[in-house]
Amino acid sequence: MLFKQQALLRQKLFVLGSLAIGSLLYLVARVGSLDRLQPLCPIDGRFGPRSQDEIPLRALQFKRGLLHEFRKGNVTKEQIRLHNLVQQLPKAIIIGVRKGGTRALLEMLNLHPAVVKASQEIHFFDNDENYAKGIEWYRKKMPFSYPHQITIEKSPAYFITEEVPERIYKMNSSIKLLIIVREPTTRAISDYTQVLEGKERKNKTYYKFEKLAIDPNTCEVNTKYKAVRTSIYTKHLERWLKYFPIEQFHIVDGDRLITEPLPELQLVEKFLNLPPRISQYNLYFNATRGFYCLRFNIVFNKCLAGSKGRIHPEVDTSVITKLRKFFHPFNQKFYQITGRTFNWP
């Protein structure tokens, strides 16, 4: 009798378990279906009233796969016309700073369904040979997008190259400019680390950071060293301000983007007049990598390349102190100009 009761109980549990799993699978399929069909508000207030051919943001999000095929070149002119896709000049550019987190910022902004990124650094405005090819060459380097999406490119060399501000101004005087910065000494060491790694891959030797950053003749900070010069943010920004008002710049905290990315991304969404779409769901911390990774949907996740987050070599503390003392007055001026203060020593 007891054996029969146990067998009956197991049978009931099996049936209930099967129903639960079936219900769960149905809900997943149903939510996905509804998610694809549910229209959301368009990008309000930036492009004016919604036209009949405007694509809802949710629809844009689920057509990323299609855009990927266009980027790979697996399309015909007829398909381009049919889907109303265009190659647009960027409405925003991440102009720097090298080793400030430009790649991370671009990839994270690409989570937004109204943003399309140029995958490679174009180096149009800082490279004379490329610039001589003309604006149409530049436009054709941009990804395919829907007319109401924003195209963003990043080339961190733009920030420190003298000719670039005027060249970008001639293309679009109202363009929005993003600058991501880190604590200047940390950024300089990160810059050095990337170059050092490249030398080691080629079995070449390289000077220690201390020897490059400090002038051996004067024992003062070596401002001829490019990694040091790049970290004097205010000197470069002042050149840009000859062409663009400060309102067209947004400063991103690169150190905070590593530890708390969402608040920084929300500030960028606001600056670009985008509806808030990036949420904590899109960002998850990968303990193995030590960085946040990106979740586009239930299927597609992405982490930054393994080269990101290189381990820095140990640097003499007296050199770090000297560099921080050197950068301090420049940092204070940078805070004053931008209206944003950082907790830099």
The annotation places the binding site for 3'-phosphoadenylyl sulfate at 99-103, 182, 190, 292, 308-312
Contacts of 188 (CB under 8 A, 6+ apart): 213, 227, 228, 230, 231, 323
Is 99 labeled as catalytic in the residue annotation?
yes
How far apart (Å, rounded) are the C-alpha atoms in residues 94 and 339?
A: 19
State the catalytic residue, choosing from 4, 72, 91, 99. Answer: 99
Cis peptide before 195 (omega within 30 of 0): no
How far apart (Å, rounded) are the C-alpha atoms in residues 225 and 213?
A: 6
Single-letter residue type at 247 = E
The β-bridge partners of 250 are 178
Binding-site residue set: 99-103, 182, 190, 292, 308-312
Contacts of 224 (CB under 8 A, 6+ apart): 215
Residue 89 buriedness (CB in 10 A; 0-12 / 13-18 / 19+)? middle
Q: Are strands 144-145 and 115-117 parallel, antiparallel or unpaired?
A: unpaired
Alpha helices per DSSP H over the chain: 2-37, 57-61, 64-72, 77-82, 102-109, 128-131, 135-139, 164-171, 184-201, 209-213, 226-230, 233-240, 254-259, 261-271, 317-338
Active site residues: 99
